[in-house]
Chain A
Amino acid sequence: MNVLVFIKQVADTEARIIISSDQKSLEIENKYTVNFFDEFAVEEAIRIKEALKDVQITVCTFAPARATEALRTAIAMGADRAVRIDSTNFATDDPLIVARALASYAKIEGFDLILCGRQAMDDESANVGAMVAEFLNIPHVSQISRLHMLDAGRAEVENEIEGGKKVSEVTLPALFTAQKGLNEPRVPLITGVMKAMKTEITVLDPASSGTPFGPIDDGSSRVSVLSYELPAQRPSVRIIEGETPEEKVKGLVRVLKEEAKVL
C-alpha cells in the first residue's frame, strides 16, 4: 500500500516576523518547524506501516529548499521517501495553486491513502486537503481523530462534526486531514536521524513534471496579497483596584458595562 503524506514547513510560533517598510512582504526569522498538525499525519502513516507491514510512506511538500529539513524530520520519524516539489517562483498564496501542484504529483504517482494536517499554522487556511481530494476526485474526511484500516481497501475514521463526533467507513483511495488527538507523534531516534541525513530527497520541477489539474504559474493566481500590517495594539491593561475581591469585581462590572459596553 502506498501512503502519501503532505507536510508543510512553517514558521515556529516564536519566530520573529517583520513586515517590510512598503508593507508588501514579510521577513521571517529562520526558525521553522514541521506544521503541528502534519506531525499527526506522519505519525499515523508510520503506525499504519507498523500494523500492515507492506506499506511505503512518501512525504511530499511544495516548498523552497529550506523545507528539506522538514522532510528529513519526517524520514527520521519513519517515512520511507521524501519529495520536494520546488515552489520557487510560484505564487503559494493561492491555495488552489498549492493544491494543484500536490494533487498533480499524487495523480502521476498513484496512492491508496493521502494524509495531511487539518490546517497550516502560517496561513491558517484549512483549504489544501479538501482541494486536493476534489482535484483527484476522491472522498475526504476532515479533522480525523481516529483511523482504523479495514480489509478490502477501506478505512474507518472518526472525526469531529458540528457539536459531536461521526464515524465513517471510507473506500480508498481517500484523503484524511489530521486533528490533534489522532495519536502522539514520536520523537525521532538517533538512528532515524542518521538515516534521514543520508536519504536522497527527490526534487521535482512542477513545470516539467506536469500539472494535469490546471496551471500553477504566477498568472493563474486567483488571489493577491495587497499588504501586511500589524494587528491593532490594545491599550495597556487597566488593573481594577479594590480593598476586597468584591470591590474589584464591582469595579470591573461597572467598566464593562459603562466603558466597554459589553454587558
Chain B
Amino acid sequence: MSKDVLIFVECKDAVPRKASLELLSAGRQIAEKFSSVLFAVVMGSDMKNAAGIVSGYTDKTIVVDDGSLAEYGWDLMSSVLEGILTKYSPAIVLGTSSMTGKDLFPRLAARFQAAMVSDAVGVDLEGDGLKIKKPLYGGKVISWVAPGPEAMLIATFRPNSFAVNEPGRNGEIIEEKMNVSKDPGITVVSSTKAGSKKVDLQEADFIICGGRGMKAAENFSLLEDIADLMGGRVGASRTVVDSKWRDYDDQIGKSGKTVSPKLYIGCGVSGALHHIMGMDTSKVIVAINKDPNAPIFQYADYGIVDDAFAVLPALKEELKKVREDS
C-alpha cells in the first residue's frame, strides 16, 4: 500500500500560514522515508498565489478555488476534503491543531474511520512506522502513539512543532473542481473578524506574556510595543483576563491557549501550574519577576529578578538595537 502524504494547508489572507509550511517541511521527510508522494491541498477563494508558494514544497498541489469556500465552514471544507481524500487516497493526512483543524478533522476522521491523533508536537521516523509525539495532562506526560497499519492516519500538530525548510521544488499544480455541500441546518447570522494583521497567538514565534504583576490594563502597552517590535504577540495570564485587562483570546494556560513560541517572556507572571501547562513547550522561556521565589523560575531558562516596570523600557531599547542590527 502506498504511503502518500497529504498536507491540508491553511491560509490567512490567501497566504499559507507558517504552521502549514512547517507541515509541508515535515511531510517531505515523511514522504522521503516511505518513498511516497507529497500532496498538499489548498482551498478557498483566489488561491492561485498560495498554491504557487505551496508547490515549492510538494510533488502535487491540489487547488480548489471556489468562491463558496471564501468563508470557513466545516460542512463546506469537509465535503471538499472528502472528495479529495477519496480520489487521491493518501495514507497520512497532516493538519494544524488550530481552531479550524480541531473543528474539521474529527468529522473527517469519523467519516473515514481514520486513526485520529490531535494536538501532537512531533514525529519519530526512526524504525518501521511513524510514531507521533503527543503531550497529555497539560504536558505532564508525553505519549508516543502509532496508527494502526491499515487505517488512514489524520494527525494535527501544534504550530511551531517543526522547522520550516527551504522550498526548492516546483511541484505540479492540479486544479480540482469539487462538490461543495453546505449543511442546511446551519445559517451564519454574522461574523466579525477583529481584522488584526497580527500573527495568531498560537503561531507567534515571540510571545511576551503579562501577569497580575503588570498591575493595570494600560501597562500592557509596554508589552504591546515590544511584541510589535518583534513581530510577535502579547499573551496574558488568567488573572489578567479575569480582571478584564485583556481579552480571553490572549489567555495562555490550561483553560486558555497552548503556545510553543521560540521565545516566551513572562512578566509579572507567578508561574502557576495552570499557566505553565499552556507554555512549557516553548523553546526558550524567560521570566521577569521581582520575587526570586516565584515558581516560574523553576520552568524558565533565563530570569531577571527585578521590577518589570524598570526592566521593560530597557528591554525595548535593547531589542530595538538587535532588530536594527539584523
- Known A-B contacts A95-B106, A129-B106, A163-B196; the reply to A170 vs B141 at CB < 8 A is no
Residue of A128, A221, A245 with most partner-chain B CB within 10 A: A245
**Is there an interface contact between A122 and B190, defined as CB atoms closer than 8 Å?**
no
Indicate whether A1 reaches chain B with its CB closer than 8 angstroms.
no
**Is there an interface contact between B106 and A127, defined as CB atoms closer than 8 Å?**
yes
Q: Is the interface of A mostly helix, strand, loop or mixed?
A: mixed
- Known A-B contacts A124-B136, A221-B148; the reply to A240 vs B188 at CB < 8 A is no
Binds B, one of A42-50, A63-71, A227-235: A227-235
**Is there an interface contact between B277 and A223, defined as CB atoms closer than 8 Å?**
no
**Assembled-state Cα–Cα distance A119/B74 (Å):** 18
**Interface of chain A residues 186 through 240 with chain B (CB within 8 A):** 214, 221-231, 234-235, 237-240
**Is there an interface contact between B280 and A231, defined as CB atoms closer than 8 Å?**
yes
**Is there an interface contact between B113 and A130, defined as CB atoms closer than 8 Å?**
no
**Is there an interface contact between A226 and B273, defined as CB atoms closer than 8 Å?**
no
Contacts of A228 in B (CB 8 A): 136, 141-144
Count residues of B near A (Cβ-Cβ below 8 Å): 93
**Is there an interface contact between B273 and A246, defined as CB atoms closer than 8 Å?**
no
Q: Which residue of B lies closest to A130 (CB)?
A: B106
**Is there an interface contact between A121 and B116, defined as CB atoms closer than 8 Å?**
no
**Is there an interface contact between B307 and A245, defined as CB atoms closer than 8 Å?**
yes
**Assembled-state Cα–Cα distance A133/B183 (Å):** 12
Q: Min CB distance, B140 to chain A, in Å?
A: 6
Q: Which residue of A lies closest to B114 (CB)?
A: A222
Indicate whether B87 reaches chain A with its CB closer than 8 angstroms.
no
Contacts of A122 in B (CB 8 A): 136-137
**Is there an interface contact between B263 and A256, defined as CB atoms closer than 8 Å?**
yes
Indicate whether A263 reaches chain B with its CB closer than 8 angstroms.
yes
Q: Min CB distance, B190 to chain A, in Å?
A: 5
Q: Which residue of B lies closest to A166 (CB)?
A: B191
**Assembled-state Cα–Cα distance A130/B108 (Å):** 9
Indicate whether B224 reaches chain A with its CB closer than 8 angstroms.
no
- Known A-B contacts A131-B109, A249-B311; the reply to A239 vs B304 at CB < 8 A is yes
B98, B118, B286, B298: the one contacting A127 at CB < 8 Å is B118
**Is there an interface contact between A180 and B142, defined as CB atoms closer than 8 Å?**
no
**Assembled-state Cα–Cα distance A246/B307 (Å):** 12
Q: Which residue of B lies closest to A135 (CB)?
A: B110
Range of interface residues on A (Cβ < 8 Å): 35 or more
**Interface of chain B residues 282 through 326 with chain A (CB within 8 A):** 283-287, 292, 297-307, 310-311, 314-315, 317-319, 322
Contacts of B184 in A (CB 8 A): 171
**Is there an interface contact between B310 and A231, defined as CB atoms closer than 8 Å?**
no
Contacts of B145 in A (CB 8 A): 93, 223-226
**Is there an interface contact between A225 and B191, defined as CB atoms closer than 8 Å?**
no
Indicate whether A255 reaches chain B with its CB closer than 8 angstroms.
yes
**Interface of chain A residues 92 through 131 with chain B (CB within 8 A):** 93-96, 99, 119, 121-131
**Is there an interface contact between A227 and B185, defined as CB atoms closer than 8 Å?**
no
**Assembled-state Cα–Cα distance A168/B183 (Å):** 12
Q: Which residue of A lies closest to B119 (CB)?
A: A124
**Is there an interface contact between B140 and A226, defined as CB atoms closer than 8 Å?**
no
Indicate whether A252 reaches chain B with its CB closer than 8 angstroms.
yes
Contacts of A169 in B (CB 8 A): 186-187, 189
**Is there an interface contact between A239 and B106, defined as CB atoms closer than 8 Å?**
no
Digitize A29-43: 1 where CB-to-B-CB distance is under 8 Å, 0 elsewhere: 000000011000000
Q: Which residue of B lies closest to A15 (CB)?
A: B137
**Is there an interface contact between B144 and A161, defined as CB atoms closer than 8 Å?**
no
Q: Min CB distance, B31 to chain A, in Å?
A: 21
Indicate whether B135 reaches chain A with its CB closer than 8 angstroms.
yes
**Is there an interface contact between B283 and A262, defined as CB atoms closer than 8 Å?**
yes
**Is there an interface contact between A225 and B190, defined as CB atoms closer than 8 Å?**
no
**Is there an interface contact between A142 and B280, defined as CB atoms closer than 8 Å?**
no
A26, A130, A156, A240: the one contacting B189 at CB < 8 Å is A156
Q: Min CB distance, B191 to chain A, in Å?
A: 4
Contacts of A129 in B (CB 8 A): 106
Q: Which residue of B lies closest to A16 (CB)?
A: B140
**Assembled-state Cα–Cα distance A13/B255 (Å):** 11
Known: A131-B109, A162-B100, A252-B286; 4 extra A-B contacts, CB below 8 A, are A162-B72, A224-B145, A229-B144, A237-B287
The 4 closest A-B pairs by CB, nearest first: A222-B115, A130-B106, A134-B110, A164-B193
27 contacts between A and B (CB under 8 A): A93-B145, A95-B118, A121-B138, A124-B135, A134-B106, A139-B183, A142-B103, A160-B99, A161-B191, A162-B99, A164-B191, A168-B187, A168-B189, A169-B186, A222-B113, A223-B147, A224-B148, A226-B145, A227-B144, A228-B144, A231-B141, A237-B297, A237-B301, A237-B303, A238-B302, A239-B302, A260-B301
